[in-house]
């Protein structure tokens, strides 16, 4: 009771006494199946074919998604073409499905190895999974390397396969040597004579300060380091102290250049592979123990021999995946460290179409305003606005520091570590942020793109990449719901030190490793897993999470187990109705046998399948698809245009070329009595392709017709929702009168829409409620309010019978 204690005006809202009931929706559909991409096991609303394509992708190739797994995109297309407007899709994948990933790298300054390609890597002849690296000391398993090759740069990962040691020579061999040829290290002995006259490259004569001990056929080593070369003596002019050379000099020589003679040492090995003549630099696969860069070796096979200078010790390394680009010899490889992992937002091979590019983009570019000495951790800059704790800055283009504290007003910045050297006024201070662009590539073109500008690596930074793009929970292997990207999520792999490393930018790189696990999709995948936790429900059970769905299908799946699970789902949800397919290619006998598997008032079965143009075949080819998606669209179209009380039959099927089996009246005479709905071709009568059945797959004659069953479901659901207000109201006549008024008003509207029989409302329905009418005192004492309602739903004119007879002029009808 309201209280009136002080004088004044009291304005009160008085209930009107009417509680209108709104008819529940009946045209919202649900489908469960495989899609190219999109959320998994989450009912997701799409409202057009374009919306479906944006969220779930296009058609699936039947040679990949076999056994009807490609059906859902065709069904969604059929639903919208035939008039549907609201569709909830539950995408499923196999248990072993994976998301595509890509690791984003930073240059690792802590690893000193900087090998270069000893041989060109050319991808045109097939997959290249090995590289030959020169001066490759310090490489380890799983090391990641950036091949610095301009626009062709790429990041590779070494596997744990054994590295194959090789000697890289300063030039190619003149002869071919077979496996097992001996390679002997040469002992160098300084010769008494040195070069006594300059000689240019190409010269065929050499003057020394002494020649005693040299003779024709000897090999000597001239010069040092990069200009060292081997020459073969042809003849010796002892008087003139000159040597005639068997071949022209390769490099010029200067006065005073040393000369050394060669002799076999005890260090020897054998080739493990054949080595061909020619090339800029030969590679000798062999055990390299005891041999180093600059040494001279003798290769001999018993019939021929050749001296060579070792340029360096090379290694053949194996890559975790083939190279994307070709690379010339001499390009450098720089060690990197993974700092961010890009995950496709949803599992599936679709993620392999994503391409990610990083570009530098700084928030702050300023200068040091006041000098700071070595050992200090603070500095004053011209402007500190845009710097935050966690920001990484580069000072003078070479010193990386992480910001700890910022006083933006004063311009004072304190770093996490002291300066190793003094900083002078005018030195540049540039913050290190980056812009991330992700593109979805189809047929070589970007069809979808997202860009996130000026991202930072530090978790406390207001532009932390994982916050703005969206994060990936490594523990649960799930994407965050929040985040600006529809395509990717990011995982942070960096520790505090790695966040200060310079990111590798400018490379457009593709994600890979995505898999739908098509082979792992079975009946159990479609049926799904129940759970008290809505987030853990899968398959058909996931559709429980969306109460707005009224009609459902699992397109293309004609397994009795799956379809019975769908029917059981509808019965559990009470107000849902299932549309079931018959097996594609089934004859009449097989279709009849399939229909006999079901007896429920919440499903209908349709036969035969539909034909449409084959998007993956040659022009003129056709593809046979399941009818359920098109049928759901016709349900929705009929509900919207006429009402749920109109049977969804004698309606044109849009978007198909034919039915895969042409049924005539005789065939339907067999199928209709067992409540198997037929699709009929009436093109010979200029009436197109039509659904020509409206029966429920049940033995209960009370619910023989689809429109009657669905009308009752609509009324029941509307009353269920519309009478929720009455719970815990005083159970007495005022409540009963209000309930009766509300229900009567609702059913009157239903009757006026043509859904109920009768010329008057009293003929169409009744509503009873009251003491000693529907309730006893015991009911009232136990909190029960009972309403009895009867309705007379309209039935379809399934058989239009015209009786005609002749009459005479005098006869009267």
Over the stretch 20-65, which tens digit does the pLDDT of each residue have? 999 999 999 999 999 999 999 999 999 999 999 999 999 999 999 9
- Mean pLDDT within 434-458: 94
Q: Is 158 helix (H, G, I), strand (E, B) or coil?
A: strand
Q: What pLDDT is stored for residue 812 in this prediction? A: 60
Per-residue pLDDT band for 806 (boundaries 50, 70, 90) equals confident
Which tokens hold the place of 376? Answer: 């200090």
Cα–Cα distances in angstroms (integers) from residue 498 to residues 337, 340, 402, 502, in the given order: 8, 10, 11, 9
Integer Cα distance of 342 and 99 in angstroms: 10
Is the pLDDT score of 813 beyond 60? no
Q: What pLDDT is stored for residue 131 in this prediction? A: 87
Q: What pLDDT is stored for residue 161 in this prediction? A: 74
Write the pLDDT tens digit of every residue in 646-657: 999 999 999 999
Integer Cα distance of 339 and 57 in angstroms: 30
Do 732 and 783 touch, CB atoms closer than 8 A?
no
Indicate the average pLDDT of the chain: 92
Which tokens hold the place of 731? Answer: 């159970």
Q: Is 407 helix (H, G, I), strand (E, B) or coil?
A: strand
How long is the chain?
813
Per-residue pLDDT band for 15 (boundaries 50, 70, 90) equals confident
Write the pLDDT tens digit of every residue in 394-414: 899 888 888 999 998 999 999
Least confident of 6-15, 451-460, 689-698: 6-15
Q: What pLDDT is stored for residue 167 in this prediction? A: 84
Which of 730, 738, 754 minimizes the C-alpha distance to 787? 738
Contacts of 130 (CB under 8 A, 6+ apart): 316, 317, 318, 319
Write the pLDDT tens digit of every residue in 341-370: 999 999 999 999 999 999 999 899 999 999
Per-residue pLDDT band for 143 (boundaries 50, 70, 90) equals confident
Q: What pLDDT is stored for residue 150 in this prediction? A: 87
Write the pLDDT tens digit of every residue in 200-226: 999 999 999 999 989 999 999 999 888
pTM to 2 decimals? 0.84
Q: What pLDDT is stored for residue 168 in this prediction? A: 85
Per-residue pLDDT band for 582 (boundaries 50, 70, 90) equals very high
Q: Is 354 helix (H, G, I), strand (E, B) or coil?
A: strand
End-to-end CA distance of the chain: 71
Least confident of 250-254, 523-527, 645-649, 695-699: 250-254
Which of 469, 459, 483 minimizes the C-alpha distance to 388? 459
Structural domains of the chain sorted by starting position, each given as residue range(s) with its CATH number in brackets: 29-96+519-705 (3.40.50.11780), 168-319 (no CATH), 339-360+434-510 (no CATH), 363-431 (2.40.10), 708-718+733-791 (no CATH)
- Mean pLDDT within 798-805: 84
């Amino acid at each position: 009771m309201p209280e009136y204690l002080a004088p004044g005006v009291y304005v009160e809202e008085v209930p009107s006494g009417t509680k209108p009931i709104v008819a529940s929706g009946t045209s919202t559909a649900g489908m469960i199946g495989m899609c190219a991409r999109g959320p998994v096991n989450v009912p997701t609303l799409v409202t057009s074919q374009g919306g479906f394509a944006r969220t779930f992708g296009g058609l699936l190739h039947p040679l990949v998604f076999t056994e009807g797994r490609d059906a859902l995109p065709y069904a969604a297309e059929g639903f919208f073409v035939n008039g549907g407007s609201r569709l909830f899709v539950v995408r499923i994948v196999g248990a072993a499905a994976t998301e595509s990933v890509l690791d984003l790298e930073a240059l690792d300054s802590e690893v000193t190895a900087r090998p270069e390609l000893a041989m060109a890597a050319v991808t045109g002849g097939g997959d290249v999974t090995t590289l030959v690296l020169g001066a490759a000391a310090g490489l380890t398993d799983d090391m990641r390397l950036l091949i610095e090759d301009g626009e062709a740069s790429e990041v590779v990962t070494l596997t744990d396969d054994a590295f194959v040691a090789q000697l890289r020579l300063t030039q190619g061999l003149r002869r071919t040597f077979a496996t097992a040829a001996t390679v002997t290290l040469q002992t160098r002995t300084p010769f008494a004579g040195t070069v006594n006259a300059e000689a240019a490259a190409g010269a065929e004569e050499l003057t020394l300060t002494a020649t005693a001990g040299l003779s024709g056929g000897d090999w000597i080593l001239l010069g040092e380091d990069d200009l060292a070369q081997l020459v073969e003596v042809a003849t010796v002019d002892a008087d003139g102290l000159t040597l005639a050379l068997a071949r022209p000099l390769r490099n010029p020589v200067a006065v005073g250049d040393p000369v050394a003679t060669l002799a076999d040492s005890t260090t020897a090995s054998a080739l493990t592979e054949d080595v061909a003549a020619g090339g800029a630099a030969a590679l000798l696969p062999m055990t390299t123990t005891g041999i180093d860069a600059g040494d001279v070796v003798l290769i001999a096979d018993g019939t021929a021999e050749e001296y060579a200078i070792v340029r360096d010790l090379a290694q053949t390394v194996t890559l975790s995946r083939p190279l994307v680009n070709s690379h010339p010899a001499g390009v450098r490889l720089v060690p990197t460290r993974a700092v961010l992992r890009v995950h496709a937002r949803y599992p599936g091979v679709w993620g392999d179409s994503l391409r990610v590019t990083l570009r530098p983009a700084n928030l702050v570019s300023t200068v040091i305003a006041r000098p700071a000495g070595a050992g200090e951790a603070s500095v004053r800059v011209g402007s500190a606005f845009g710097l935050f704790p966690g920001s990484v800055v580069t000072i003078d283009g070479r010193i990386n520091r992480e910001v700890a504290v910022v006083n933006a007003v004063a311009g004072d910045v304190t770093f996490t570590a002291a300066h190793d050297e003094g900083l002078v006024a005018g030195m540049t201070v540039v913050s290190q942020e980056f812009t991330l662009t992700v593109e979805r590539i189809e047929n070589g073109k970007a069809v979808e793109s997202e860009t996130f500008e000026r991202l930072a690596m530090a978790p406390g930074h207001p532009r932390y990449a994982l916050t703005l793009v969206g994060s990936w929970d490594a523990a649960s292997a799930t994407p965050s719901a929040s985040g600006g990207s529809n395509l990717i999520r990011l995982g942070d792999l960096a520790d505090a030190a790695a966040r200060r490393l310079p990111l590798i930018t400018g490379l457009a790189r593709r994600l890979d490793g995505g898999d739908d696990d098509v082979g792992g999709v079975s009946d159990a995948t479609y049926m799904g897993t129940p759970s008290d936790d809505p987030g853990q429900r899968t398959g058909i059970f996931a559709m429980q999470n969306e109460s707005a769905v009224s009609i459902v299908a699992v397109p293309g799946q004609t397994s009795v187990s799956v379809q019975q699970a769908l029917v059981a789902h509808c019965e559990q949800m009470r107000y849902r109705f299932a549309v079931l397919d018959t097996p594609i290619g089934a004859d009449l006998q097989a279709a009849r046998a399939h229909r006999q598997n079901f007896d429920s008032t919440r499903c209908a079965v349709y036969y035969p399948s539909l034909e449409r143009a084959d998007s993956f075949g040659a022009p003129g080819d056709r593809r046979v698809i399941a009818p359920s998606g098109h049928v759901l669209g016709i349900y929705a179209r009929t509900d919207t245009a006429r009402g749920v009380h109109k049977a969804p039959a004698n309606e044109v099927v849009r978007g198909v070329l034919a039915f895969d089996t042409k049924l005539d009246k005789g065939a339907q005479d067999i199928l209709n009595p067992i409540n198997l709905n037929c699709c009929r071709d009436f093109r010979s009568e200029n009436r197109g392709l039509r659904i020509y059945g409206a029966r429920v797959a049940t033995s209960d004659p009370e619910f023989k017709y689809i429109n009657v069953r669905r009308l009752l479901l609509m009324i029941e659901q509307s009353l269920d929702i519309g009478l929720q207000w009455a719970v815990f109201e005083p159970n007495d006549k005022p409540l009963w009168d209000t309930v009766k008024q509300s229900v009567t008003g609702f059913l009157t509207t239903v009757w006026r829409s043509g859904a109920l029989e009768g010329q008057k409302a009293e003929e169409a329905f009744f509503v009873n409620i009251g003491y000693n009418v529907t309730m006893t005192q015991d009911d009232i004492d136990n909190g029960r309010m009972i309403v009895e309602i009867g309705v007379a739903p309209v039935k379809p004119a399934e058989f239009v019978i015209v009786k005609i007879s002749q009459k005479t002029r005098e006869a009267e009808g």
